[in-house]
């Protein structure tokens, strides 16, 4: 969890910052994690892109990079110097920013689980999800990406439908 001075305040910035070595491109990837869990899919997706845009249009990114570079917990001094050379030094051209986004939403199709249609729904799950993804998810994602102004970024998305995103959130908070 991100450090904050007020536990009642919304967490600002990324939900996490990670690094990954991409040997095939000889790149260091700095991964900014983002999660948006909303009842409505379009709201979750839209808020993720708004958050990422705000992150890159403000000082937040610089602050997180600075915090990240000054709080390594698993790397020795030599490894820290190598990472720093990719993030803000001589190897900066070999550093790729990646946003990994978890988009969670309530999916109305799951209502079938509490009806006599449950068995049919489970048998058709893959097909139903693909139809929804092509009709709703893909056009919404394409529109967000087309309007997005930071084209140098790379994305990895995880789309996770829930029977109830509110129920998931409650269970997650309980487990913390």
Decide if pLDDT at 10 tops 60.
no
Which helix (H) or strand (E) covers residue 172, if one does? helix 165-175
Q: How far is CA 93 from CA 16, 27, 33, 49, in A?
A: 23, 9, 21, 25
**Lowest-confidence region among 15-19, 79-83, 99-103, 155-159:** 15-19
What value does the mean pLDDT take over residues 16-29? 85
- At residue 13, the pLDDT reads 57
SS3 per-residue string spanning 128-153? HHHHHHHHHHHHHHHHHHHHCCCCCC
- Where does the pLDDT of residue 7 fall: very low under 50, low under 70, confident under 90, or very high at 90 and above? low
Strand partners, 36: 103
> pLDDT > 90: what percent of the chain?
58
In the chain, where are the structural domains located?
16-175
Burial of 105 (0-12, 13-18, 19+ CB in 10 A): buried
């Amino acid at each position: 969890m991100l450090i904050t001075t007020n536990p009642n305040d919304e967490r600002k910035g990324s939900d996490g910052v990670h690094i990954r070595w991409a040997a095939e491109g000889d790149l260091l990837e700095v991964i900014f994690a983002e999660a948006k869990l909303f009842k409505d899919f379009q709201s979750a997706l839209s808020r993720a892109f708004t958050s990422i845009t705000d992150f890159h249009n403000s000082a937040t990114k610089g602050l997180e990079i600075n915090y990240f570079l000054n709080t390594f917990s698993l790397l020795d001094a030599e490894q820290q110097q190598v990472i720093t050379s990719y993030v803000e030094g001589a190897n900066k051209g070999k550093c790729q920013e990646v946003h990994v986004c978890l988009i969670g939403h309530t999916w109305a199709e799951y209502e079938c689980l509490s009806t006599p249609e449950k068995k049919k729904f489970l048998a058709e799950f893959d097909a139903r999800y693909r139809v929804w993804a092509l009709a709703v998810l893909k056009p919404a994602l394409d529109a967000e990406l087309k309007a997005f102004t930071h084209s140098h970024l790379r994305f990895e998305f995880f789309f996770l439908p829930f029977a109830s995103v509110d129920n998931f959130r409650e269970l997650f908070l309980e487990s913390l």
